[in-house]
A and B are shown apart, each in its own frame.
Chain A
C-alpha cells in the first residue's frame, strides 16, 4: 500500500459554548431557568460539524489542493493530518514524516536569535539537533538572513521572520507537507522561491496538501483538488476542473447578491451610458465558457444622449485574482470612433482569445479623445476560458500565444565557441 495519507469517512464535531462555563455563571443560569419556569431547558450546547464523512487518499509525490470558503473545513483537515486534533469518527492515517507550514514562525521566541530559533523551531517540527546542524547552512542561505542570523528575532522585519519560518519547515524534506495559505506573505521573488522549493519537494516524492485562495498558485502546485463546503466534499478531481467549479459558484453567488439590479455593473456618465459589457464567442453568442483557441469579441453597448464626438474606447481583461491581463484601446491601434446620439456597440475582436484557462471579467469604457480622462466604464459578467488540448497542463503564465516549434538537427558549429 503506497498511500501516504488515508482519510476514511472522517467526521469532526466541535462543541461550541461549552468551554468556558464558570461556576457563578452556571449557578446564575440555573437560577434564571428556575425563575422563568417552563423556559427552554436548552443550555448552550451548540454543535458544529466541521467535517462530515470526508474520505480521500494521497500517494507519494501527489499533490492535493483544498479549496472552499472560510469555515468549509480545510484547516480542520490539516489539523487532523498534523495530529493536533482527533476525529470524532472515522480514521486518519499518515505514513512518514510530516511537516506543516501552517503558522510560520509560530514557535519563534522574539528574544532569541535567529540561530537559536532555528534549533528551537526545528525541534518543534520533529527534527533532531543533528539534523538541524546538518541543514543549518542551507536554512540560513534559503532564508537570506546572512549576518542577521545572530540578531534577536524581535528585530527582524516581518518578511525576514516569514522567510526564516519557511526555510526551517521546507528544509526538512518531509514525506508529507501541509501548506496553509502561508505563501501569501513575503515578497514576490521569495514567493517564487518557495513555489520552486515546493515543486522540487513534490518531484522528490513529497506528498503535499495545499490550502490557498490563490488559484494560480494552486494550479502551479497541485494536480488534484477537493472542493469543500460546510465540511463536505462537493467536488473532487483534477485541480483545474474543481477550481473552475468553485470559481463559478463564487461568481454566481456574487451575481445573486446583485439580483434585481442589472447583472453587469454599469456606471453612467451624464451624456453617455454603458448599458452592457459582454464577451461573446465566434458565433456571437454569450457563453460562459469560451475556448481559448477561438476568436472572441468584447462588446461595449452604449447609449449616448447627445452627439459625443470622437472618443477612445478601451477594454481591460481582468483575471479573477485581480491581475490585468491585457488592455486594448482604440488609440493604441490608431482607430477612432465618433459616437452619435442613440444606441450603439463598440466591439473589439481577439483572434484568437489566447488566454489560459481561468475566470475573467472585462472592464470596458470610453475615454476622451486625448485619453486623458475616462468618461464611463462598465464591467462584464465573469466568464470562463477553457484551454485547448490537455488544458490542465496550463499552469503558468497568462496567455498562450500561437506557437510554432521547430527543431533543426545536425547543424555543425563552425564558430570559435565550439572548441
Chain B
C-alpha cells in the first residue's frame, strides 16, 4: 500500500510541484516580509519562552543556552503545527476543483505539506546560525540521522494530514478540533522543557507521542552531539501506523468527496 502511495506521488510529481509552487507564491504574494515569516514565527516564540524559562522559572537544559535548546525543537514543531491546518484545508478550499476535474486528490494535501517544508528549511537555517554563534559542539556523524528523523516526521505529518483533509470535507469540526489538539500537543511534546522533567515511570507512555521522540532526536543530534536513543524506534513505528491508517482512510473516502455538495 505504501508502494502504491509512493507510485502515485511519483506519477503526479509535476502536479505536486506546480501546486506547491502555487501555494508558496500565493502565500508570499502581497507580504512585505515574505518568506522571513518562516523564521520570525518560531524565533519570536522561542524568544518569549527563553525569557520565561531562563529569568522567571529557570529550566535545566544541561548547560546549553535555552535559545538553542528550544529553537532546535520549535523549528520542526512549527512545521507540524503549520502544515496540518493547511493540509486539513487543502481539499475543502479547492472544492470547486475537486468536484469538477479529476486529478490525484492526494496531490493537494501533499503540496500543502511541501510548501510548509520549505518554510521548515528556512527556519532550520537559523539553527545553523545559532549553533555557530553559541559554539555548540557538533558531531557530524550523528547528523546522518537528520534525514531519518525528517523522514519519520514527514510520515507522521502526511498520515495525519491526509486523514484530516478527507475528514474535514465531511465535518468542519475537524478544523476547530485541530486548533485545540495542536495547542495541547505543543505542551505534550518536549519543546520548551527537557524530557528529563518527565517522571521516569511515565517516559514509555510519554514517548508514544511520536513528536516527543522526533523532537528529542533532533535535539540529541544537533544540541547534545549524540546519536538518538531507542525512543526513535517507537516514534517511527507509531508514525508509520498513522501514515498507513491515514492513507487508507483517505483512499476509502476519496470518491465520496465529490458527492458532498
Contact = CB atoms under 8 A, between A and B. Distances in A.
Interface of A: 14-15, 19, 79, 82-86, 98, 100, 102-103, 106-107, 109, 111-112, 116, 119-120, 123-129
- Majority DSSP secondary structure for residues of A touching B: loop
A82 B19 CA distance: 20
A124 B15 contact: yes
B259 A14 contact: yes
Contacts of A107: 97, 101
Interface residues of B, number: 25
Given A79-B99, A83-B102, A100-B100, 12 more contacts: A84-B99, A98-B102, A102-B100, A103-B101, A107-B97, A107-B101, A111-B25, A111-B29, A123-B12, A124-B18, A124-B101, A127-B14
A102 B260 contact: no
B26 A109 contact: yes
Contacts of A103: 96, 100-101
Nearest to A117: B22
B103 interface: yes
Query: What 8 pairs across the A-B complex have the smallest Cβ distances?
Result: A123-B15, A103-B100, A83-B102, A86-B255, A123-B18, A84-B258, A85-B258, A123-B14
B40 to A, nearest CB: 22
Contacts of A86: 255
Interface in B1-17: 12, 14-15, 17
A82 B21 CA distance: 26
A48 B261 CA distance: 13
B134 interface: no
29 contacts: A15-B259, A19-B260, A79-B99, A82-B101, A84-B98, A84-B101, A84-B258, A100-B102, A102-B100, A102-B101, A103-B100, A103-B101, A106-B101, A107-B97, A107-B101, A111-B25, A111-B26, A112-B22, A116-B21, A116-B25, A119-B18, A123-B17, A123-B18, A124-B15, A125-B101, A125-B103, A126-B103, A129-B17, A129-B18
Given A112-B22, A119-B18, A82 B102 contact: yes
Contacts of A125: 101, 103
A79 B255 CA distance: 11
B170 interface: yes
B259 A85 contact: yes
Interface string B16-42: 011101100110010000000000000
Contacts of A129: 14, 17-18
B255 to A, nearest CB: 4
Contacts of A128: 14
Contacts of B22: 109, 112, 116, 120
Provide the main secondary structure of the chain B interface.
helix
B19 A120 contact: yes
B255 A85 contact: yes
A120 B103 CA distance: 12
Contacts of B258: 79, 84-85
B254 to A, nearest CB: 9
A79 B261 CA distance: 13
A15 B96 CA distance: 20
A84 B260 CA distance: 12
B100 A106 contact: yes
A86 B25 CA distance: 34
A127 B18 CA distance: 11
A58 B18 CA distance: 33
Nearest to B98: A84
Contact of B97 (A15, A82, A124): A124
Contacts of B29: 111
Contact of A100 (B98, B101, B255): B101
B170 A19 contact: yes
Interface in B68-104: 96-103
Contacts of A15: 259
Nearest to A152: B29
B234 to A, nearest CB: 34
A199 B216 CA distance: 63
B26 A124 contact: no
A120 B12 CA distance: 12
Contacts of A120: 18-19, 22
B31 to A, nearest CB: 12
Nearest to A100: B101
A23 to B, nearest CB: 8
User: Most chain-A Cβ atoms within 10 A of its Cβ — which of B18, B96, B98?
Assistant: B18
A120 B96 CA distance: 15
Given A85-B255, A111-B25, A129-B14, A106 B97 contact: yes
Interface string B248-261: 00000001001111
B59 to A, nearest CB: 41
Which of B19, B26, B103, B170 has the most chain A CB atoms closer than 10 A to its own CB?
Answer: B103
A274 to B, nearest CB: 48
